[in-house]
Amino acid sequence: MIPTWAQLAYLAAAVCFVLALKGLSSPKTARAGNLLGSVAALAAMIITFVVYDLDNFGWILGAIVVGCAIGIPAARLVAMTAMPQLVALFNGVGGGAAGLVAYLELADAETIFPLAAAVLTVPVGAIAFSGSVVTFLKLQELITTRPVTPPGGPIFFSIGLVAALVLAGLLYAGDGTDVWLGAILGAIALVVGVLLVLPVGGADVPVAISLLNAATGLAVAAGGYVLGNALLLIGGTLVGASGTILTRLMAQAMGRSVSSILFGAFRGGSTAGGGVVADRPVRSAGVDDIAIMLAYAQKVLIVPGYGLAVAQAQHTIHELAEHLESRGIEVDYAIHAVAGRMPGHMNVLLAEANVPYQKLLEMETANGQLRNTDVALVVGANDVVNPAARNSPGSPIYGMPILDVDQARAVVFLKRSMRPGFAGIENELLYDPKTTLLFGDAKESLTGLVSAVKAL
């Protein structure tokens, strides 16, 4: 029996989880919210060691040491551009751990509902694990980012799903005592997870990560029910609920339904283009010409994207904005919900450079100002400003809400090359007569612009 003080401590930790999640909803309180959640999780773990008479204490402690040795350097050294990949890996580890715990507890689940929860957690955790590994490989570009539909993929996916349901039923009917049946169920679920995520491509991959995160939360919550741990149940439910809400919001930001994102390639659609670049003339200029355009504007709207993060140019662009503002120019930042491949990516990146939060305009606000913007400075963004989302019904991003950069009086596009964005499709904005391209590394180009503006 868990002592009363420990139950109250678990309850306090659960409340801290809720408050931490609330804190993460705003950049102003995100750091405090993250710290609060971390402290609550650490306190809950210590309480578990104190209250329970744990077997294999040495193995558990060793596993914690190994996990810290891997996790702490990974989190501290990861580049901002690789943050979505890190999230995918951490999510996969959580799902896999929940699935393994449920598998080990199958034979000990003596009543109906804990047994059902354990049987459910095994395949859900396995799908979250294997699916998250595939999303990591896609985002890291270790495999193609385009949708991959193996021959007979939809058929094998359907067969695997049905087989998993049948095996889960048999395992439940056998009171979870058949360890081989549980192992086969987990193995099939791993394959289902791979087949689920492989057809997702392009900018839709972060949506899949969010959905798998919700699945991991569900698995952890069910694992908490199996183990009789209310804190795991509450924490998992919070992750599952928030992950589900985030998935819907991201899908809406992409102008897509979750089903079309997951199964569009099965129906012959695509979430990525062919990546073909047309041989068409574009208008380009050097830093001096661009500096004059910026210095004599009244309003400049900066549109940051993944390329800005890759170049680690957030401090340089903030310096450019400060120089423009010193000349009496109004400068703001237009932020798309999924710019940078994950929600909040650009907010965090610009916060590193101490860009005031009030200058970060959400898409609806920015679109209302673009018609009155003299220069829209696009740095590393592509798909989120592509007019094909409005004008090309056959485009894979058609219907996705975008920043209406083409409505500005002039557009300056900083690009390394004419290579398409993550969705793999050509951007018609590059060929717009009022668009001027500045080719080169974003940080080097912005450094040149800072010097040129200062010299005017």
Task: With residue 304 as reference, give the H or E element that holds it.
Answer: strand 299-304
Whose tokens are 């661009």? That residue is 290
CA distances for 62 relative to 49, 52, 58, 67, angstroms? 14, 18, 6, 9
Q: What burial class does residue 279 get, using C-beta atoms within 10 Å of its C-beta: 0-12 exposed, 13-18 middle, 19+ buried?
A: exposed
**CA nearest 353: which of 308, 383, 385?**
308
Pair of tokens at residue 439: 């080719």
The residue from 204, 383, 404, 406 that is catalytic is: 383
Residues 285-304: b if buried by 16+ CB within 10 A, e if exposed? eebeebbebbbebebbbbbb
Separation of alpha carbons 186 and 178, rounded Å: 13
Instruction: Determine whether 175 is an active site residue.
Output: no
The 10 Å CB-count burial string (b at 16+, else e) for 98-123 is bbbbbbebbeebeeeebbbbbbbbbb
Cβ neighbourhood burial of 379 (10 Å; 0-12, 13-18, 19+): buried
| Residue whose C-alpha is closest to residue 335's, from 370, 360, 368 | 360
Q: In what order do the strands lie in the sheet with 375-379?
A: 360-362, 330-335, 299-304, 375-379, 411-415, 435-439
Active site residues: 383
